[in-house]
Structure 1
Amino acid sequence: MTLTLVLIAIGALLFLVIIYNIIQQYRQKQEAEKRALLLKQKNIISETDELLLNASQLPYSKALMLILHNRIHACLQIMQQNDPRNSQVETRIGNIREQLTQLKDHYQMESEGLKPPESDQHAIHLLQVVKRLRAVLRAEHNKRKVGTQTFIHEDRRLELIQLKINLSNLIKRARMAFENRENALARQMLEKGLKVLEPLPDKDEQLKRIEETLQARLDELTNKQSKVQQEQQEREEQQESSELDMLFQPKRKW
């Protein structure tokens, strides 16, 4: 009888140990999932904050600014649900809501449009930022947080910004080629830019100005080449005339 009770007690203890281990493993799994979720939201917020820092270098529309700030707000809400005691998250939520209100009531995009990149490295940086913005926009649209019409409009606007960056850099490189007397290379780049712009149905004022600049540089190059060819032809004709004069001039009698 005593042995039976001991065995039952040992069995019950083992069962309790197993149950305890299962509960501990479940809690550890939950904590790990919670940490991973919080880390994911922090990374999204950091990425979005970094994109917002470039608003001074690129023309961000009001819709895009709202999308980025709402993205941060959604992440903060998830963090608050999983970590309600975090006062920093609560404070940040209050700040982001104030920013959203300010954006809705007062934000206006700079009318002057894209500022030309200062260097090739700057152009590459801006192109990378635009690429990331388009990826974020697509992700938010897939989550149904951005309407289809807004997505189409904003994605096309960012695509045109990419084009403006490339064309501005192309104009600078064509000018350098022209100054280095690499006329064939300069012509090739200018004609390439015009070929890209010509079929666009939705050129804005800045793209139209870029197109005019490209055409003006091409005309300048054509005129210069024509002038050089004309001067060369005149020199050749003058040399030919001089040679003929020497050939047919009267012979001197000695």
Structure 2
Amino acid sequence: MAFTLVLVLIGALLLLVIGINALQQQKQRAEALRRTELARQRAILDETEEVLANTGMFPCTSHVNLVLYKRIKEAAQQARLLSNPSQKSDYERRVLDLDAMIANLQKNPPQQPSIENFRLPDNDRQILVLVQTLKKLRAIIRDEHNKGKMDPAIFANEETRISSLQLRINVDSMLSRARSSCYMKQYGSSRQMVTKALATLNTIKGQTPNDPFISRKVEEAKQLLEEINNAVKMAQPAPAKAKEEDDIDMLFQPKKKW
């Protein structure tokens, strides 16, 4: 009897240990998932805030700003639910600030500045930041559209604007590099970049023939190509025609008698 009781107690103890280990493992998995999801929401926050901070580099509509603010707010709300008590107050204040910004945007008329006045930054680092920002912005609005949080008409318009801005940056960069190469007398590289820019412009011109930017840049590229060709001609050595004529005169001139 006593032996049986001991076995029962040992079995109960083993079950208790197994149960405690299972609970601890479950708690650890839940904590790991919480931390992973919190890190993901913070990454969304940081990336979206970075894009929002760089929207001053290009003509940005109020629709895009509204999408970005709402995305930041949603990430902040999720982070608040997942964060420790000491961090919750920071996210709560951020959500309140975002509510005020969103309400202010929604009560004002939509703003859609023209991209015709867009100018490429002079600094190469700024150009790189701009290119990366537009790439991230396109990914964000596609994600928001796929979630059903963006009107299809607004999404299509913003996609078109981003594509147009990327085209302008690409063409302006190629023409700028072509001018620099021409100044450095690297005429082969310069001609290659202008030709590539013209090919890009002509392809887009077939799709949007009434775009004034395309027509203007086509003329600019043609003029630059002509300048490069003229520079190549000027850089070529003068033909040795005069020397040949002197040699012929020397050959047929009367021979002196000694």
When the two structures are superposed, what TM-score results if normalisation uses the length of structure 2? 0.75
For residues 47-75 of structure 1, give each alpha carbon's deviation from its aligned partner in whole angstroms, at most 9, with x where no partner exists.
11111221122222323222222221221
Aligned position for 1:24? 24
Q: Distance in 2 between matches of 1:70 and 1:161?
A: 24
Which residue matches 1:101? 103
Counterpart-to-counterpart distance in 1, 2:38 and 2:188: 56
Aligned residues: 250
Stretch moving more, 78-87 or 163-172: 78-87
SS of the aligned residue for 2:27 comes to helix
Question: Partner residue of 1:87?
Answer: 89
Partner of 1:251: none
Give per-residue Cα distances to partners, 1:159-212, cap 9 Å, x unaligned. Answer: 221221121112222222333444554444333323222242336444444334
Contact 1:120 1:169 in 2 (8 A): no
**Residue identity in the other structure for 1:133:** L
Report matched runs for 1:1-254 at 5 Å: 1-83=1-83, 85=85, 86-104=88-106, 105=108, 108-111=111-114, 113-183=117-187, 185-200=189-204, 201-202=207-208, 204-218=211-225, 220=227
TM-score, normalised to structure 1, is 0.76
Structure 1 residues 8, 179: closer, same or farther in 2, change over 3 A? closer
Change (3 A) 1:247 1:48: same
Q: Residues 63 and 110 of structure 2 are in contact (CA less than 8 Å); yes or no, is this contact kept in structure 1?
A: no
| Matches of 2:166 and 2:184, distance apart in 1 | 27
Identity of aligned residues (%): 34
Q: 2 CA distance for matches of 1:3 and 1:173?
A: 91
**What corresponds to 2:255 in structure 1?**
none
Unpaired segments ≥5 residues, structure 1: 249-254
Give the Cα–Cα distance (whole angstroms) in 2 for the partners of residues 147 and 72 of structure 1: 18
Query: 1:147/1:91 Cα in 2 relative to 1: closer, same or farther (>3 Å)?
Result: same
| CA–CA distance in structure 1, aligned partners of residues 157 and 132 of structure 2 | 20
1:21: Cα distance to partner? 2.1
RMSD: 3.8
More displaced 10-residue stretch of structure 1: 84-93 or 99-108:
99-108
- Bigger shift: residues 28-37 or 192-201: 192-201
User: For the Cα contact (< 8 Å) 1:127–1:162, is it kept in 2?
Assistant: yes
Shift of 1:33: 0.7
Q: Distance in 2 between matches of 1:122 and 1:27?
A: 46
